[in-house]
Amino acid sequence: MHVFLTGASGFVGKNLVPYLLDRECRLTCLLRDPARLPEELRSKVAVVVGDLTNLGPEVMSALAGAEAVVHLAGQLWGRTYEDFDRVNHLGTEALVKAVGKANPSLKRFVNVSSMAAAGPARPGEPLTEASPEAPISWYGRSKLAGERALTEAAFPWTVIRAPAVFGPWDPATLIFFKLAACHIHPIIGWGRPEHSTIHVEDVCQAIRLVLTSETRPQSTYFINDGQAIHRLREVMTLVVESVGKWVVPVPIPGGLVLAAEGLLALGQRIGLAPSRVTPDKLRELRQRAWTCSADLITENLGFNASVPLAQGIPETAAWYRANGWL
């Protein structure tokens, strides 16, 4: 299968490229900066230089020759809604229109989205595909808008909504391992937060299942690691154990996060807020539940996660150490 892939140089992309190559897929990757994809991967794929805001003739030609599109590219950080909207919504919309023009008989378009598009869950009640969508962040709103850009497409499409993803090449989760390595065990000060998680290898598995299985022409699926609800303290305990250091519990009162959110909102209004630690991100952080059910994709496509949390966390720590990240 010839797959046109966006976001190949990101965290999930760097795992998906070898995963699909090992399964005899031919890849054409849209890259803004080819140097961000390691040479050992870049040498095995066709590269088209550009981005979602600049889909020129070379991109249209590559799309015309593809059997499937996997859309991973997205904006994770920003100071304004427009920062997210430009890529997650308008960029997705531009890609969908380009595919409709260059390759209207495309076999499958896979949009890898986020649980943030649906919003948080209630404690003890993981979201399902029937749950109403109520994103609470700019990121989530822009991802939902990107999903909706597919609704008018004539070709078959599938949306995969992932919860917290971790594994090799993940820079976001690294901070928790580094804190543990510095003997710090942060404890969030409100309730017992619940999270769904998934190892990046199982995200790759879900993408391949969608590409190769008979499924409904327009489908949306949540995925997880086989267990819908993990307690945040359970996750952090596994991180601490995988690092192998003694740690000091450091409580983080919920009021402190709320105060930080307010200060950052003020800084944002006067142009001083950082782009990564924003009120938007803190609003997501302080929710009591980010959980989802994977029952529908299991029932329809036979998806079963292969990397449980207790296996994936120590394997991720080992990868960080082997690659000099930790």
Cα separations in angstroms, 13 against 2, 6, 187, 203, 304 = 16, 8, 31, 10, 21
Average pLDDT over residues 238-252: 83
Q: 147 is in which domain, residue-wise?
A: 2-165+198-226+291-307
Assessment of whether the complete model's pTM goes beyond 0.75:
yes
pLDDT confidence of 163, banded at 50, 70, 90? Answer: very high
In a domain, 254, yes or no: no
Q: Residues 6 or more apart from 33 whose CB is under 8 A from it?
A: 9
In a domain, 52, yes or no: yes
According to the model, what pLDDT value does residue 248 have? 81
In a domain, 87, yes or no: yes
In a domain, 276, yes or no: no
Average pLDDT over residues 6-28: 96
In a domain, 281, yes or no: no
- Token duo for residue 275: 């782009």
Taking residue 61's Cβ as centre, other Cβ atoms within 10 Å add up to: 12
According to the model, what pLDDT value does residue 232 have? 82
Average pLDDT over residues 238-263: 67
Say how many domains are in the chain.
Answer: 1
Which has more confidence, 202 or 284? Answer: 202
Look up the CATH number of the domain holding residue 128: 3.40.50.720
- Token duo for residue 270: 């006067």
According to the model, what pLDDT value does residue 247 have? 80
According to the model, what pLDDT value does residue 296 have? 96
pLDDT digits (tens, 9 = 90+) for 206-233: 999 999 987 677 899 999 999 999 998 8
In a domain, 134, yes or no: yes
Cα separations in angstroms, 195 against 10, 102, 123 = 23, 40, 9
pLDDT confidence of 186, banded at 50, 70, 90? Answer: confident
In a domain, 132, yes or no: yes
According to the model, what pLDDT value does residue 268 have? 44
Average pLDDT over residues 288-299: 96
pLDDT at 117 over 50: yes
pLDDT digits (tens, 9 = 90+) for 264-287: 344 444 444 444 556 677 778 778
